[in-house]
């Protein structure tokens, strides 16, 4: 696979996804001569530059900026071919308490980026979404649904510009900042793991799988698609058992804006969704290209009536042992479960 580009910019480039994506670009695509890390946190940029230094990787640039600042985006996008938009305020309880801050970054920031890309000759844009954008019940999910709609609709306003906008939507990223696995790994030494609800399920994807999905979208996109990967689910109690079977599980209740289960494709979305081997594609609401041709090229078919993609009814669930293997491979290679003492 080739990205057929000379320059790429990643918003939120110092986040968990951004760092992994930049690492992948630097090691797998030597033909790319400029990789711009765009983010607002100077400390995170300083720390990332210790790992990916401009001396070792002369193609990398660290650009301080906020997606709320359209002028700064415009400056950063000069000469950029591809954009991956990973910047977001994503913590559900924080968004519930600070709703307009989340709106300014996730919605207004998305529109700023779209307009700046249109003004600067960018060729492809892929925006990261979340399962919380499907049938949202919290502010974060609602803002990401708005963002998804903005990026899909941006294809309608490109005029004669050679540019495509698409979205990738996936579930919880294993080991990302603020996610449950690092939290449980820290809390296990206290002897108690807080469980919101024993019935809770979530989709699971590794950072590398998330990066691979974005790279596939950049390669396959026609513009306006929402790409959804086929990934496993886990039960929150199984995560606790995988990490610390010795710990007592304390039920604490759902947090503000939290669901028992997540969806990535609702039953209504499925009416406009095509299934492929490793992923689904939710089609743009307003036709942008020939769907029959798209299905023929990528060998897909429409989803069955009544289908939905739901973490609780997903046919693929991770076992406790599979979770342990994934934690060792993707989170902490020294990980061992905290077991009860032998009597």
Contacts with 329 (C-beta within 8 Å, 6 or more apart), sequence order: 206
Answer yes or no: 278 catalytic.
no
Contact yes or no for 249/237 (Cβ under 8 A): yes
DSSP state of 256: T
Nearest to 220 by CA among 278, 265, 173: 278
Closest CA to 306 of 277, 269, 275: 269
Q: Which two tokens stand for residue 11?
A: 């918003």
Phi, psi of 129 (to 5 degrees): -120, -160
The DSSP secondary-structure symbol of 104 reads: I
Active-site residue, selected from the candidate residues 19, 90, 124, 132? 132
Distance CA 102, CA 98 (A): 7
Q: Annotated active-site positions, please?
A: 132
């Amino acid at each position: 696979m080739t990205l057929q580009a000379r320059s790429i910019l990643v918003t939120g480039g110092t986040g968990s996804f951004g760092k992994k994506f930049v690492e992948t670009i630097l090691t797998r695509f030597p033909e790319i001569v400029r990789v711009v890390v765009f983010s607002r946190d100077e400390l995170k940029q300083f720390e990332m530059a210790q790992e990916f230094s401009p001396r070792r990787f002369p193609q990398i640039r660290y650009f301080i900026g906020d997606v709320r600042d359209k002028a700064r985006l415009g400056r950063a996008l000069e000469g950029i071919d591809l954009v991956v938009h990973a910047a977001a305020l994503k913590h559900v309880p924080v968004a519930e308490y600070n709703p307009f801050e989340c709106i300014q970054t996730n919605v207004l920031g998305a529109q700023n980026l779209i307009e700046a890309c249109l003004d600067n000759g960018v060729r492809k844009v892929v925006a990261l979404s979340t399962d919380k954008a499907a049938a949202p019940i919290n502010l974060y999910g609602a803002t990401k649904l708005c963002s998804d709609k903005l990026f899909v609709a941006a294809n309608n306003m490109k005029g004669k510009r050679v540019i495509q906008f698409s979205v990738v939507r996936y579930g919880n990223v294993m080991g990302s900042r603020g996610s449950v696995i690092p939290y449980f790994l820290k809390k296990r030494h206290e002897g108690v793991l807080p469980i919101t609800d024993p019935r809770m399920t979530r989709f699971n994807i590794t950072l590398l799988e998330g990066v691979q999905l974005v790279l596939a979208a950049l390669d396959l996109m026609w513009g306006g698609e929402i790409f959804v990967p086929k990934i496993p689910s886990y039960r929150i109690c199984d995560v606790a058992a995988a990490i610390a079977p010795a710990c007592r599980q304390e039920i604490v209740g759902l947090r503000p804006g939290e669901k028992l289960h997540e969806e990535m494709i609702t039953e209504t979305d499925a009416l406009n969704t095509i299934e492929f081997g490793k992923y689904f594609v939710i089609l743009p609401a307003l036709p942008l290209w020939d769907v029959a041709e798209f299905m023929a090229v990528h060998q897909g078919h429409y989803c069955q009536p009544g289908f939905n993609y739901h973490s609780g009814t997903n046919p693929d669930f991770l076992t406790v042992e599979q979770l342990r293997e994934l934690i060792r491979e993707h989170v902490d290679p020294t990980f061992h479960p905290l077991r009860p003492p032998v009597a």
